Structure 1
Amino acid sequence: MSGMTRPRPRVAAAAVTAAAAALVLTACSSSGSSAGGDGQIGFVTAKGKGGNISTAAVGHRQDAPDIGGKTLEGDPVRLSDYRGKVVVLNVWGSWCGPCRSEADDLQRVWEKYRDQGVQFLGINTRDTEINNAVRFEQEKGVTFPSIYDPAGAELLKFPKGSLNPQSIPTTLVVDRDGRLAARAVGGQTDDALESMLQPIVAEQQK
């Protein structure tokens, strides 16, 4: 009987890998579609020059998972560390062309809003060599921290049917109460980033 239980960890690991790989199948796409059933849970989706941007009204937001891990520099970090701030989560990989294109825009918006109660946090995924991710940040002058998540395990914690990551890159905005407020699919410009960030920054903390 004990021999029957041994494959289970392998099966679980394979399931995580397969699910993460499914996300990567749409990687580096600037035309990813929003999750099915958006209208049923209060999403509003608009297509602009920055790609698809979906937002959720305050009463329709779901809690963001408390993702965490080690940063590219080896420091522990969790999303809940920033409760009370608006958090911009950016899913990226050094191998992804649109990620490289939007990095300057993300850094500019981070520098503009960091003193307004906003925190940027990257989620680096599918980079099997951490040095590639570190080199990317150095080349692009990115100064906000990123969780190193090569297998995509943290991405799988986002509930289905929510404003969850849809492709790589995806940018999410989490409100001050830790709820998923907005999602932008594909590479973004600074104007597009600000258009979805500003209304959430302007909200009063409850």
Structure 2
Amino acid sequence: MTRPRPRLAAAAVTAAAAALVLTACSSSGSSASGDGQIGFVTAKGTNISTAAAGHRQDAPDIGGNTLEGAPAKLSDYRGKVVVVNVWGSWCGPCRSEADDLQRIWEKYQGQGVQFLGINTRDPEISNAVRFEQEKGVTFPSIYDPAGAQLLKFPKGSLNPQSIPTTLVIDRDGRLAARAVGGQTDDALETMLQPVLAEQQR
């Protein structure tokens, strides 16, 4: 008799998400798995990696319900530059960068830019909602407590490497930049502006 497999799949998701948390809340600029590959550039003295337009991989169509219960997915924003921030309410660097993220969101949201959070490893959604209220965050976040959406990013790409991680997705839905660890508004603009300046194919 064949045993049911759903538990195995769930266990795999949990284990992979737990591995991500092992590097969680690190604000260091340590190298990540994709940085040494052709087409990836890591600026010296920073933890920001970029991919030239001809070397970008498609971002997965992450999706789910937001903290407010509304459906959302990355492909809803095709044609815009999307800033994806992976965070948890329990994460110190996430709390530190929240004000900077909100400032940049307010500055660029009328310029063809969308911010989208992925809240992960928060077993109680109320913790994440309280975090947003306390920090004044107004852009939507997908609730992903088990990290299932994070596992959709292809290995060897500009995929999330720790919590927090911030990604910039170009207008064609491709992975253009990644910053590992907490970010300032200056660093966020350094990632965002070159992608925003590109023309849509």
Q: TM-score under structure 2 normalisation?
A: 0.97
TM-fit CA distance, 1:39: 3.4
Alignment RMSD, CA only? 1.2
Deviation at 1:34, TM superposition (A): 3.6
Shift of the alpha carbon at 1:156? 0.3
Unmatched runs of 5 consecutive residues or more in structure 2: none
When structure 1 is superposed on structure 2, of 35-44 and 184-193 the one drifting more is 35-44
Runs of 4+, deviation exceeding 4 Å: none
- CA 1:37–1:93 in 2, change beyond 3 Å: closer, same or farther? closer
Please tell me whether the aligned partners of residues 34 and 158 of structure 2 are also in contact (alpha carbons under 8 angstroms).
no
* Cα distance change, pair 37–189 in 1 and its aligned pair in 2 (3 A): closer
Q: In structure 2, how many angstroms separate the alpha carbons of the residues matched to 1:39 and 1:59?
A: 17
Deviation of 1:37 (Å): 4.9
1:90 is paired with a residue of what secondary structure? strand
- The 8 Å contact of residues 105 and 114 in structure 2, kept in 1 or not, is answered as yes
Report the 3-state secondary structure (helix = DSSP H, G, I; strand = E; otherwise coil) of the residue aligned with 2:187.
helix
Equivalent residues in 2 for 1:147-186, closer than 5 Å? 147-186=142-181
Q: Partners of 1:85 and 1:141 in 2: how far apart? A: 23
Residues 25-80 of structure 1: per-residue CA shift (max 9 Å, x gap):
0000011534335333310012546xx00000000000000000000000000100
Q: For structure 1, which segment, 81-90 or 24-33, has the greater mean C-alpha deviation from structure 2 after superposition? A: 24-33
For residues 127 and 15 of structure 1, the distance between their equivalents in structure 2, rounded to whole angstroms, comes to 18
Deviation of 1:7 (Å): 4.1
> Number of residue pairs matched?
201
Structure 1, unaligned runs of 5 or more: none
Alpha-carbon distance change, 75 to 172 in structure 1, aligned in 2, over 3 angstroms: same
Tell me how far 1:139 sits from its aligned partner: 0.3
* Residues 47, 99 of structure 1: alpha-carbon distance in 2 compared, 3 angstrom cutoff: farther
What SS class does the counterpart of residue 182 from structure 1 fall into?
Answer: strand
Q: Report the Cα distance in structure 2 between the residues aligned to 1:98 and 1:203, rounded to whole angstroms.
A: 30
Aligned identity (percent) is: 90
Residue 34 of structure 1 contacts residue 166 of structure 1 at CA under 8 Å; is this kept in 2?
A: no
> Kindly tell me: are residues 30 and 47 of structure 1, through their superposed partners in 2, closer, same or farther at Cα, counting changes over 3 Å?
farther
Which whole-Å CA distance do the structure 2 matches of 1:38 and 1:187 have between them? 18
Q: CA deviation at 1:142?
A: 0.2
Deviation at 1:19, TM superposition (A): 0.5
Is this contact kept in 2: 1:92–1:125, CA < 8 A?
yes
Cα distance in 2 for partners of 1:186, 1:155 equals 16
User: Contact 1:177–1:205 at 8 Å: present in 2 too?
Assistant: yes
Partner residue in 2 for 1:5? 2
Separation (CA, whole Å) in 2 of partners of 1:37 and 1:199: 20
